[in-house]
Amino acid sequence: MAVYTDISEDQLADFIRRYDVGTVLSFKGIAEGVENSNFLLVTDRQPLILTLYEKRVDPNDLPFFIGLMEHLAARGISCPTPIRDIDGTALGTLAGKPAAMVSFLQGMSVRKPRREHCAAVGEALARLHIAAADFPLKRKNALSVAGWTELVKAVADRADTVSPGLRQTILDEVMALGQAWPFGLPGGVIHADLFPDNVFFLGERLSGVIDFYFACNDMFAYDLAICINAWCFEPDFALNVTKAKALLDGYHRVRTLAPEEIAALPLLARGAALRFLLTRLYDWLSVPPGALVTPKNPLEYLAKLRFHRSAADASAYGFTA
Amino acid sequence: MAVYTDISEDQLADFIRRYDVGTVLSFKGIAEGVENSNFLLVTDRQPLILTLYEKRVDPNDLPFFIGLMEHLAARGISCPTPIRDIDGTALGTLAGKPAAMVSFLQGMSVRKPRREHCAAVGEALARLHIAAADFPLKRKNALSVAGWTELVKAVADRADTVSPGLRQTILDEVMALGQAWPFGLPGGVIHADLFPDNVFFLGERLSGVIDFYFACNDMFAYDLAICINAWCFEPDFALNVTKAKALLDGYHRVRTLAPEEIAALPLLARGAALRFLLTRLYDWLSVPPGALVTPKNPLEYLAKLRFHRSAADASAYGFTA
């Protein structure tokens, strides 16, 4: 849920004037996205999403994010399409902050994904990887192995207050994964945050993918490993092998996984679990006591991490090439 | 900003099944309303607003609120129109909470109301009072003189931590207003919370009034006094007489104010300022330290209260009958 900036009617009118989108009929803050303020803007021609980039987004990254959405949309990926202004620029300024308008996507995110949803997500992820292959800009993954060290420094001392022994587990994992991390796998642009919140469905048909604000260059199989963590565990944190198999099969149907990618899946899934454990722990420890917004429980990812550590190979996820 | 309850796709489907509204294409939490969770629900036929009534609303009041919107809409007031289900009932249950769907209103609330907006609000308020005259249900105003005593008990002891001397000011006001309050003025159903957030415009044309969840039976002129507080002060808390005159003239054009209503305006405006001072103070003192949501500053209403105390008669608001 996120509306951090109040927009006055004059500010909106000044902004909209630069775009050929029609007359504004409605403007409402929406509870979507965590890093930015998002508004639904309905004109006499179309509904649009207006995003205001708040301080957690580096303005230097915006050409990458906006360019990527434009690139993917042009290649038939159903994702928000940036709207260009009369000068051909998609990135504007509103209330003193970077802002952009994108097309409105139909569909709803699912709270309880089923096998069919997981299969569709696998396919969509592979299509996204392929469609982004010729995207010219690059962005480093700030939340991969090298970035973990910074997070560990920030959270390690207080980790045991969340769960006894968590500090040592984290230090051991960072060490082990740092040594074993498979850097040479096929890669390109990855979404890096393809959680159920960020995928829309109409029934079982995947109707769109949103929120490209963690997208970066990294290994494709790592993106898939993030999706295993995000889509294939049950509320009791047990892996649902049927869903994992559907996700991996869906991906493999569209983009064939190489043997070394398949072999690396347990390790990559472990790394992805550690990445979300660390960022959730950071958020958990950063929130002032008594705050009205409760961050997500980091321990969910400790349970997932343990599962991945026990996985001998991709068959633990129901996958056989 | 308000989405307090997460709705799963199954819960939504179960709920929607009882209504003849078409197929759901989109479902998003929106940042509107404070007491309830609100969602924009787009179907293949229409956009709708779905409201989930959270614990701050008394379920016994819902037939009044929903019946009132239906009553007003049927009389041509542009307000959310409740959608009835296949059994003819407008109040349903979703995620274990009372819920209702209402029509979507075009327009945007204004952050910086101008004279024209104030005139339109005055007219709309008078129309609302007239249209509700034959609404059969009644609801007591819990936030009028009798209700203030409860609020004072809850906030008085800590009032001076917000502003030195505030405790005594509040006690004096409650006493003075309790003695002088003019109970016998013309009355009926009032909106009781017609702030800029709750009025939509398309340009300068008022396109709708929302949020009837404080509506109750009370004096009409008290509703007008609330609007003076809500619409006619500048950011430095100085009254803008031009706006106040426009608001009062607008109202008077549609529903002629009686001499005793006009005479009571300063006192009613003082009472309205005290009411918002007390509830804001209550919210201010109830929020845990460090919370991410900052309540509105109560002292805005102390400044307004002082203005109204200095007003000799309605001419202080630019009004002459």
Which has the closest alpha carbon to B215: B306, B131, B310, B303?
B131
Size of interface A-B (CB pairs under 8 A): 96
Q: Chain B: nearest CA to A204, how far in angstroms?
A: 11
Q: Angle at Cα B98 formed by Cα B94 and Cα B100, nearest 5°?
A: 80
Question: What pLDDT is recorded for position A42?
Answer: 95
Q: Chain B: nearest CA to A141, how far in angstroms?
A: 29
Output the six-digit token pair for B224. 């007008």
- In this prediction, residues B189-195 reach a mean pLDDT of 97
CB–CB of A290 and B293 under 8 A? no
pLDDT bracket for residue B1 (50, 70, 90) = very low
pLDDT bracket for residue B290 (50, 70, 90) = low
CB–CB of B108 and A24 under 8 A? yes
Q: Chain A: nearest CA to B258, how far in angstroms?
A: 36
d(CA A276, CA A270): 10
Q: Chain B: nearest CA to A239, how far in angstroms?
A: 21
Question: Measured between CB atoms, which of A26, A31, A287 is closest to B28?
Answer: A31
Q: Which residues of B touch A (CB under 8 A)?
A: 1, 3, 6-10, 12, 24-32, 40, 42, 47, 104, 106-108, 110-112, 200, 202, 287-293
Give the 3-state secondary structure percentages of chain B, helix then strand then coil, rounded to 5: 45, 15, 40
pLDDT bracket for residue A14 (50, 70, 90) = very high
Lowest-pLDDT choice from A102-116, A227-241, A278-292, A299-313: A278-292
pLDDT tens, residue by residue, A250-263: 999 999 999 999 99
The average confidence (pLDDT) of chain B is 93
- Please state the pTM of the whole predicted model: 0.88
pLDDT tens, residue by residue, A132-180: 999 999 999 999 998 999 999 999 999 999 999 999 999 999 999 999 9
Output the six-digit token pair for A216. 């970066």
Residue A297 CA: distances (Å) to CA of A112, A193, B148: 18, 17, 40
Question: Measured between CB atoms, which of A3, A106, A110 is closest to B1?
Answer: A3
Residues in B touching A287 (Cβ below 8 Å): 292
pLDDT tops 70 at residue B294 = no
pLDDT tops 90 at residue B292 = no
CB–CB of B108 and A42 under 8 A? no
Lowest-pLDDT choice from A124-128, B131-135, B145-149, B283-287: B283-287
pLDDT tens, residue by residue, B220-249: 999 999 999 999 999 999 999 999 999 999
% of chain A with per-residue pLDDT over 70: 96
d(CA A195, CA A191): 10
% of chain A with per-residue pLDDT over 90: 85
pLDDT tops 80 at residue A32 = no
pLDDT tops 90 at residue B204 = no
The average confidence (pLDDT) of chain A is 93
Question: What pLDDT is recorded for position B291?
Answer: 58
Question: What pLDDT is recorded for position A1?
Answer: 41
CB–CB of A106 and B24 under 8 A? no
Question: What pLDDT is recorded for position A86?
Answer: 94
Residues 6+ apart with CB under 8 A from A22: A43, A44, A45, A46
Q: Chain B: nearest CA to A125, how far in angstroms?
A: 22
Question: What pLDDT is recorded for position A290?
Answer: 57
Residues in A touching B110 (Cβ below 8 Å): 9
pLDDT tens, residue by residue, B95-141: 999 999 999 999 999 999 999 999 999 999 999 999 999 999 999 99
**Type of residue numbered A14:** D
Question: Mutate which of B23, B28, B94, B116 to disrupt the A interface (most A C-beta within 10 Å)?
Answer: B28
B192 dihedral zone (left: phi>0; alpha: psi -120 to 50; beta): left
CB B281 within 8 A of CB B162: yes
Question: What pLDDT is recorded for position A296?
Answer: 81
The residue of chain B with its CA nearest to that of A9 is B110
pLDDT tops 60 at residue A291 = no
pLDDT tens, residue by residue, B39-58: 999 999 999 999 999 888 89
Q: Which residue has the tokens 């929120």?
A: A211
The residue of chain B with its CA nearest to that of A290 is B288
Question: What pLDDT is recorded for position B296?
Answer: 81
β-pairing verdict for B187-190 and B216-219:
antiparallel
Which has the closest alpha carbon to B129: B247, B218, B232, B225?
B218
Question: What pLDDT is recorded for position A36?
Answer: 87
pLDDT tens, residue by residue, B142-190: 999 989 999 999 999 999 999 999 999 999 999 999 999 998 899 999 9
The residue of chain A with its CA nearest to that of B6 is A111
CB–CB of B26 and A108 under 8 A? yes
CB–CB of B287 and A288 under 8 A? no
Lowest-pLDDT choice from A88-92, A291-295, B110-114: A291-295
% of chain B with per-residue pLDDT over 90: 85
pLDDT tops 80 at residue A311 = yes
pLDDT tops 60 at residue A13 = yes
CB–CB of B3 and A1 under 8 A? yes
Sketch out chain A's domains with CATH numbers.
9-103 (3.30.200.20), 115-317 (3.90.1200.10)
Question: Measured between CB atoms, which of B7, B47, B293 is closest to A292?
Answer: B293
Question: Measured between CB atoms, which of A3, A8, A107 is closest to B112?
Answer: A8
Residues in A touching B30 (Cβ below 8 Å): 28-31, 40
d(CA A243, CA A234): 10
B57 dihedral zone (left: phi>0; alpha: psi -120 to 50; beta): beta
